[in-house]
């Protein structure tokens, strides 16, 4: 079904905009409010439809020409067509609407979102996939050598990979490394992964870097072919002396996660270091670490401010990861207890505390809901302040119950998903009042936004 000269009304989350046709909400991608377009449905449900733009007649005031030629197909940044100021405004609205409509909360005036210092080349980690057949828009897949690819997934398609030549998310050396690996592999006849048949030597590439110009390179192979592994890694080692951590993984599973796999060190260190403020942090291959360090510094400073710590406070840092927030706030309190379900991250957290001469932190691994018991509080001390930075899914209801039972005077909730944060805050509202809200943009040109909320015991 086709429609002509339709006006796009409003931007919503996940990089989409909406309009209304015959009382039907219609979602579109890569548009901005004020665009006048022709649309064609590709999915229709009872209450909504999704449509693709077949023609643009005019562009809205918030339109900005995308700087990446792969923008229309790549899943990396879906908002390049929108001016950055408009992106920030939308993210602010997303946070406000989530807290009001989902949380049903009484709120103070929400602080203006903090925009990113860098709109491009801000990420310190990228993950790429190999494929034996690159995705070609509007063309059939061609099973020929020239159509091997190393890149990012096509938007909405886990099984299709778009070949990437120039990505604007990470420093340009990342492009050079990725393109060299692809060219070298093709030249030497190494096979690229076939997701359907689960064959092909080369599966994934992870590239991390720090502000000091050091790089970590992790290449994932589907089999332990040492001759091929050595050939590729030696070539990378000699081509890029900036790589101080050259690693590889053997993965014969059907998924690409490396959490449960051994990471082998071929050359250099098994980690790189990064600074946040005056502190140093060890980043191991499996560790979660904020990908936009300048913005992470702002995020941590706000968290520390909202915690309003005193020298006698015992602080619990839930979902502590590698202990970055715990270490960042440790100088302002008596003790920090960091909890995290990934054992390797906890080991990094302990190292990070030692590296920075911090002696008042303790770190424990396990499921947060199982750790937060009355016995644990009795052993380690009741929390005066709790800081929580859960994954996108938010906190388990048992964790929320444990927080309310412990009844710390203050809770600082850091979230990358305003919707699940609002859901959790609605439960905490029984005992806590929202005092301050500060959105922070960590990911320009995407719909993602971090939000820090300060709650105080009623």
- Kindly report the backbone phi and psi dihedral angles of residue 237, in degrees, each rounded to the nearest multiple of 5, phi listed first: -60, -45
8 Å CB contact between 210 and 203: no
Residue-wise burial string across 263-276, b where 16 or more C-beta atoms lie within 10 A, e elsewhere: bbebebeebbbbeb
Q: What is the mean pLDDT of the chain?
A: 93
**Segment 272-307, tens digit of pLDDT:** 999 999 999 988 898 888 999 999 999 999 999 999
The answer to whether the pTM exceeds 0.85 is yes
Mean pLDDT for 206-233 is: 97
Instruction: Evaluate if residue 144 carries a pLDDT over 50.
Output: no
Could you say which of 74, 167, 416, 454 is catalytic? 416
H or E element in which residue 167 lies: none
What is the sign of the dihedral through the CA atoms of 360, 363, 369 and 375?
negative
* pLDDT class of 378 with cuts at 50, 70, 90: very high
Record the tokens describing residue 26, joined without a space.
């219609």
Q: Is 314 left (phi over 0), alpha (psi -120 to 50) or beta?
A: beta
- pLDDT value at residue 146: 59
H or E element in which residue 340 lies: strand 335-340
Domains in the chain, CATH or no CATH each: 2-63 (2.40.50.140), 87-118+292-457 (3.40.50.150), 125-276 (2.40.50.1070)
* pLDDT class of 143 with cuts at 50, 70, 90: very low
Residues 199, 222: Cα–Cα separation, whole Å: 7
Q: What is the DSSP string of 171-221?
A: -HHHHHHHHHHHHHHHHTTPPBPBTTTTB-SEEEEEEEE-TTS-EEEEEEE
* pLDDT class of 75 with cuts at 50, 70, 90: confident
- pLDDT value at residue 73: 84
Residue of 127, 258, 130, 261 whose CA lies nearest to 194: 130
Instruction: Evaluate if residue 110 carries a pLDDT over 80.
Output: yes
Q: Between 335 and 14, whose confidence is greater?
A: 335
Annotated catalytic residue 416 = yes
**Segment 37-74, tens digit of pLDDT:** 999 998 888 889 999 999 999 999 999 999 998 888 88
- pLDDT value at residue 142: 47
Q: What is the DSSP string of 294-327?
A: HHHHHHHHHHHHHHT--TT-EEEEET-TTTHHHH
DSSP-based three-state secondary structure for 109: coil
Q: Is 15 left (phi over 0), alpha (psi -120 to 50) or beta?
A: left
Strands 385-388 and 314-318: parallel
């Amino acid at each position: 079904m086709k429609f002509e000269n339709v006006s796009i009304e409003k931007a919503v989350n996940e990089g989409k905009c909406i309009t209304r046709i015959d009382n039907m909400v219609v979602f579109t991608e890569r548009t901005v409010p004020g665009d006048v377009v022709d649309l064609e449905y590709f999915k229709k449900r009872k209450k909504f439809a999704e449509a693709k733009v077949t023609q643009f007649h005019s562009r809205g005031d918030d339109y900005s020409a995308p700087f990446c030629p792969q923008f229309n197909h790549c899943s990396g940044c879906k908002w390049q067509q929108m001016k950055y100021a408009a992106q920030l405004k939308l993210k602010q609205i997303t946070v406000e609407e989530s807290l009001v409509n989902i949380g049903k909360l009484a709120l103070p005036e929400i602080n203006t979102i903090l925009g990113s210092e860098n709109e491009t080349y801000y990420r310190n980690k990228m993950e790429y996939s190999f494929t034996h057949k690159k995705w070609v828009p509007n063309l059939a897949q061609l099973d020929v050598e020239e159509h091997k690819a190393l890149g990012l997934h096509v938007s909405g398609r886990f099984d299709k990979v778009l070949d990437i030549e120039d990505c604007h998310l990470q420093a340009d050396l990342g492009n050079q490394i990725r393109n060299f690996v692809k060219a070298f592999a093709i030249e030497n006849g190494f096979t690229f992964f076939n997701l359907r048949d689960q064959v092909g030597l080369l599966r994934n590439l992870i590239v991390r870097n720090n502000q000091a110009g050091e790089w970590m390179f992790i290449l994932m192979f589907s089999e332990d072919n040492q001759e091929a592994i050595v050939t590729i890694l030696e070539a990378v080692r000699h081509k890029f002396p900036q790589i101080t951590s050259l690693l590889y993984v053997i993965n014969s599973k059907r998924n690409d996660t490396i959490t449960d796999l051994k990471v082998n060190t071929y050359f250099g260190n098994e980690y790189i270091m990064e600074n946040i403020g005056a502190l140093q942090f060890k980043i191991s291959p499996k560790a979660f670490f904020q990908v936009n360090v300048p913005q992470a510094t702002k995020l941590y400073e706000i968290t520390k401010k909202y915690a309003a710590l005193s020298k006698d406070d015992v602080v619990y840092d839930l979902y502590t990861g590698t202990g970055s927030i715990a270490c960042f706030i440790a100088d302002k309190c008596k003790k920090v207890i960091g909890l995290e379900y990934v054992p390797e991250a906890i080991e990094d957290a302990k190292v990070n505390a030692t590296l920075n001469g911090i002696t008042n932190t303790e770190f424990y691994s396990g499921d947060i809901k199982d750790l937060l018991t009355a016995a644990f509080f009795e052993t380690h001390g009741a929390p005066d302040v709790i800081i929580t930075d859960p994954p996108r899914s938010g906190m388990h209801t048992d964790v929320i119950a444990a927080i309310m039972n412990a009844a710390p005077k203050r809770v600082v909730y850091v979230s990358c998903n305003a919707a699940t944060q609002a859901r959790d805050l609605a439960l905490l509202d029984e005992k806590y009042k929202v005092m301050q809200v500060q959105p922070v943009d960590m990911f320009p040109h995407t719909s993602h936004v971090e939000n820090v909320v300060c709650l105080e015991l009623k």
